[in-house]
Amino acid sequence: MLDWSDRHCRYLHRLLSHHALLYTEMVTTGALLHGDAPRHLRFNAEEHPVALQLGGSEPADLARAARMGQEWGYDEINLNCGCPSERVQRGAFGACLMREPVLVADCVKAMRDAVQIPVTVKHRIGIDKEESYAFVRDFVGTVAEAGCNIFIVHARNAWLKGLSPKENREIPPLRYGVVAQLKRDFPQLTIAINGGIKDDTTVAAQLAVVDGVMVGREAYHNPWWLTQWDAQFLGGAPNPLTQLEVEEQMVAYMEREAATHGTHWYAIARHMLGLRHGLPGARHWRQTWSNHRLKDLSAREVSQIANTRPSKIESM
């Protein structure tokens, strides 16, 4: 979810679900320790509960980055052992870390020693075309011995060569049964599943087998789906907001961001383009909010145009 689940995206998602745990995009230890840390760590108080996802492979650096995350107020630190991109591989972290479970265990221990908030791991079920269950079972077992109690498992292998990150989300087959077997073998651990989950039926079926479900791109492209989660899966009340009311709150947020940080509404609006997915007029609404020729207008003016019927605009 790099470049997708930034703080503006998470602000929108929190309006839609009050109880879902939100995750940041992956932030490397180098970016935090040697770059613009506030830019990467800043988040809105409304986002809680929110987890900071880290990328790295040096225990000491991860410990320092985790401590920074705790000091900034994050609720969880998550180590990414699932990203297959070549750029991440050059840094010797992401999915290639699954080949080094002892190192991952050392990283987890270092972070747990540095913070009081939970330290979790997100990973795949295998590397390349090796589909041995023993590989992921031993990885989880080794890391769990270091004190990690929560694993988010993307139910696909990560092919480190020959596939793009996008292809890695589509071509390696989904094997939900592997995640279910992990839960049977490690009943004391919290096991959440990720990968290819796009509807309530699949969520409900998985929650009958494992402890949690992580949804990424479907939540981004069809964010209104989140409004059902609190009541259906998380023990909360139904979300009372309409799409227009959510948009109005996002416009107010855009105005605050512009005044406080100089953030242009265009950088925020891109995250809500799926808000009216499948509804009449959605195409016009989406095209208006993504129209770069309207950048000189205020967010409120753009919202007014987006909510005016195209035929009415043409007659103005």
> Which residues are annotated as catalytic?
83
Specify the residue for token string 């009958």: 208
Q: Based on the number of CB atoms within 10 Å of its own CB, is 307 exposed (0-12), middle (13-18) or buried (19 or more)?
A: middle
With beta carbons less than 8 A apart as the criterion, state whether 23 and 6 touch: no
With beta carbons less than 8 A apart as the criterion, state whether 169 and 155 touch: no
What distances in angstroms separate CA 82 from CA 94, 238, 264, one per listed residue? Answer: 5, 33, 32
* Cis amide linkage into residue 49, ω under 30° from 0: yes
Spatial CA neighbour of 20 closest among 57, 56, 51: 51
Neighbours of 249 (CB within 10 A): 14
Q: What angle do CA 108, 79, 185 make, to 5 degrees?
A: 70
Spatial CA neighbour of 180 closest among 115, 246, 136: 136
Bridge partners, residue 190, by sequence: 150
